Amino acid sequence: MRLLVFFISILHAVTASEFLQAERLRGVSLTKTSLYNPAADFTCFDGSKSVKFALVNDDYCDCPDGSDEPGTSACPNGSFHCTNAGYRPTNIPSSRVNDGICDCCDGSDEWKHPNICQNNCVELWKLEKVRMAEEKDQANRGFVLRQEFAKTGISKKVERQQKVEELEAQLVTLKEKEVLLKTTKEEIEAKEAAALEEHRQMMEEKRAKEEHEENMKRGALAFSELDTDKDAVVTGAELTSHKELDPDLADETFTDTEAQQILQADSVDLGFFLANVWPTINSTFQTTIPPIVEQQEEKSQEQTQEEVVAEDIGEEEDEIMRGEVIDEQEEHEEEEGEEDEYYGEEDEEEKDVETPPPPPSAEYSEETQRIVEEAMLSRETFRKHEDERKNIESEIQNLKTALEMDFGPDESYQALQFQCYELQTMEYTYKLCPFDKTSQSPKNGGTETNLGRWGSWSGGNDDKYSRMKYDNGLTCWNGPARSTEVRIKCGVEHKLLSVDEPSRCAYTFEFATPCACKQTQQESHQRDEL
Ligand code: MAN
């Protein structure tokens, strides 16, 4: 009886061990164990076929999806599950099974070479625990900082909102005042325009009057020139001395009759001449008397010379004197070069002193001047006011833009606005200016290359704030516009950790900041599979 009980117990033990064996089928995770039932045929996971259970793990690939060979390297697309008891279970490609390299920390992937791998799962787990503790500590310290940043971010937001309200109220008053200033300005400008128009007309009339007077003066001079016998009338005969007045220049004879036709009479006095004759001949009449200005100049030259001559040689005949004096003066000038220089300078000084100030461009009346100045002042006041209003509007706009920015669920990322973080690599200095841009500057000089402008948070629904997207940077030669993805992780300080360019002109930055720290770090769970 005892012997029977013993055999039954042995039988039980074998069955349990077989069951365990089935449960622990090589390369299969606990969750998939139920799919491998030794008591039934095995159906490939893709449902493509069923095979005898004996063909599972027989080192021959039957299922197209490789599911019949979880523990061997027979299927190219198979997957081997490392239990890694004491550490984390993991799946490796079947091709790594029995390839002489230890992939699982429990060494289970090298089951044909039991001596080459050491089970180091426990050691790994110990290291992992230290790393996790450090990470947790960092996360907690970072979280404390994050809360500070969040507090500042929130108060900054409130401050900005209040500032917007304050500026908007100010803007209302400014706009009201601007309307008044504009009305005042327009009123005074209308007055100014009228005064300037009046001034322009006055100047125009003055000029016309002066022109008329000048014309009459020239007419009177012409009359006097034509009146050769000085009897206060001009006759046809007198007119004929001016051949240019001949209405029929081709025949080369200017007859009295032709001249009388021009005069409209046999002879004319000054009044009739100015009113009726001069207007018809003033454009053709050519005076034989040199122009007044020239005469005056000549006269003044003569006077100067006379003075010099008077000093040097006394009173003599003008014509003779002039010739001698000029010669002597020239000689004198040659001899007394130094003195001349001196006099020359003195002359220049005198010239400077004597040069009259330029006449005012517009000689306004006192009233017009007052209106013009008042209008200028009004324009200036309006312009200043307008500038002030525009400044306030742009300040409001900037504040609103900042208020619309997404600085994270607790506003802590506000701390990064207007800051830049740099990282040096062998070739470049990379810069991240959160919410603004990313850039790259060659270390040996040269211009900064924009690697993207702030776009948006791009971590997706799972963790929106884990990534930032900067795009529309400088276009790559024959390529896309440069862009950057910033991967954010928790750290006790804001720091640009690494930079990469995984594909041409598409960059990835790794950035640590307390703003990404969470109070409770997700624990990595040790899996103890037995
Ligand atoms: C520059 C840099 C590089 C980039 C090339 C593309 O050299 O911006 O990062 O790959 O241009 O031509």
85-133 per-position pLDDT tens digit? 999 999 999 999 999 999 999 999 999 998 999 999 999 999 999 999 9
Classify residue 468: in a domain, yes or no.
yes
CA distance 414 to 435: 9
Closest residue by Cα to atom 3, ligand 1, is: 505
**467 C-alpha vs ligand 1 centroid, how far in Å?**
23
CB 507 within 8 A of CB 485: yes
Average pLDDT over residues 341-360: 43
Classify residue 504: in a domain, yes or no.
yes
pLDDT band of residue 9 (cuts 50, 70, 90) is very low
The yes-or-no verdict on residue 13 having pLDDT over 60 is no
502-515 per-position pLDDT tens digit? 999 999 999 999 99
pLDDT band of residue 388 (cuts 50, 70, 90) is very high
pLDDT at site 251:
78
pLDDT at site 24:
73
CA distance 168 to 269: 82
User: Cβ(438) to ligand 1 under 6 A?
Assistant: no
pLDDT at site 15:
41
Q: Which atom of ligand 1 is nearest to the CA of 507?
A: 9
Task: Report which residue type is found at 380.
Answer: E
User: Cβ(441) to ligand 1 under 6 A?
Assistant: no
pLDDT band of residue 362 (cuts 50, 70, 90) is low
H/E stretch holding 165 reads helix 121-226
Nearest to 436 by CA among 396, 402, 412: 402
Classify residue 180: in a domain, yes or no.
no
**504 C-alpha vs ligand 1 centroid, how far in Å?**
7
Domain hosting residue 53, numbered range: 23-119
Last residue of a domain, one of 72, 96, 119: 119
User: Cβ(440) to ligand 1 under 6 A?
Assistant: yes
Classify residue 64: in a domain, yes or no.
yes
The yes-or-no verdict on residue 348 having pLDDT over 70 is no
Q: Which atom of ligand 1 is nearest to the CA of 477?
A: 12
182-205 per-position pLDDT tens digit? 999 999 999 999 999 999 999 999
User: Cβ(477) to ligand 1 under 6 A?
Assistant: yes
The yes-or-no verdict on residue 316 having pLDDT over 90 is no
**451 C-alpha vs ligand 1 centroid, how far in Å?**
10
User: Cβ(501) to ligand 1 under 6 A?
Assistant: yes
**440 C-alpha vs ligand 1 centroid, how far in Å?**
9
**494 C-alpha vs ligand 1 centroid, how far in Å?**
26
Average pLDDT over residues 271-299: 82
**413 C-alpha vs ligand 1 centroid, how far in Å?**
30
pLDDT band of residue 323 (cuts 50, 70, 90) is very low
User: Cβ(449) to ligand 1 under 6 A?
Assistant: yes
Classify residue 375: in a domain, yes or no.
no
Q: Which atom of ligand 1 is nearest to the CA of 474?
A: 8
Average pLDDT over residues 406-427: 97
CA distance 151 to 411: 8
Classify residue 304 by burial, with Cβ atoms within 10 Å: 0-12, 13-18, 19+: exposed
pLDDT at site 293:
61
How much of the chain, in percent, has pLDDT values that exceed 70?
Answer: 80
Lowest mean pLDDT among 45-59, 71-85, 315-329, 396-410: 315-329
Classify residue 331: in a domain, yes or no.
no
pLDDT at site 295:
53
**CATH label of the domain that carries residue 428:** 2.70.130.10
**144 C-alpha vs ligand 1 centroid, how far in Å?**
39
125-180 per-position pLDDT tens digit? 999 999 999 989 999 999 999 999 999 999 999 999 999 999 999 999 999 999 99
CA distance 154 to 85: 47
Average pLDDT over residues 464-473: 98
- Pull the structure tokens for residue 466: 């884990």
3-state secondary structure of 387: helix
Last residue of a domain, one of 119, 138, 168: 119
pLDDT at site 438:
98
Q: Which single residue is written with the structure tokens 């426990």?
A: 122
Residues written for the chain: 530
The yes-or-no verdict on residue 517 having pLDDT over 60 is yes
More confident residue, 439 or 315: 439
User: Cβ(412) to ligand 1 under 6 A?
Assistant: no
The yes-or-no verdict on residue 32 having pLDDT over 70 is yes
CB 119 within 8 A of CB 105: yes
User: Cβ(448) to ligand 1 under 6 A?
Assistant: no
- Top mutation candidate among 501, 503, 509 for ligand 1, by most atoms within 8 Å of CB: 501
The yes-or-no verdict on residue 23 having pLDDT over 50 is yes
pLDDT at site 481:
97
pLDDT at site 310:
39
Last residue of a domain, one of 119, 153, 169: 119
Average pLDDT, the chain: 85
User: Cβ(239) to ligand 1 under 6 A?
Assistant: no
For residue 202, CA distances in Å to 62, 184, 191, 374 come to 113, 27, 16, 21
Classify residue 76: in a domain, yes or no.
yes
pLDDT band of residue 307 (cuts 50, 70, 90) is very low
**505 C-alpha vs ligand 1 centroid, how far in Å?**
6
3-state secondary structure of 99: coil
Q: Per-residue DSSP letters for 107-136?
A: -GGGTTSTTT----HHHHHHHHHHHHHHHH
Q: Which atom of ligand 1 is nearest to the CA of 482?
A: 8
Classify residue 44: in a domain, yes or no.
yes
- Top mutation candidate among 429, 430, 449, 483 for ligand 1, by most atoms within 8 Å of CB: 449
- Top mutation candidate among 447, 504, 507, 508 for ligand 1, by most atoms within 8 Å of CB: 504
CA distance 402 to 425: 32
Q: Which atom of ligand 1 is nearest to the CA of 440?
A: 8
pLDDT at site 11:
40
CA distance 266 to 259: 9
Classify residue 109 by burial, with Cβ atoms within 10 Å: 0-12, 13-18, 19+: buried
pLDDT band of residue 225 (cuts 50, 70, 90) is very high
Average pLDDT over residues 41-69: 96
**456 C-alpha vs ligand 1 centroid, how far in Å?**
24
Number of domains in the chain: 2
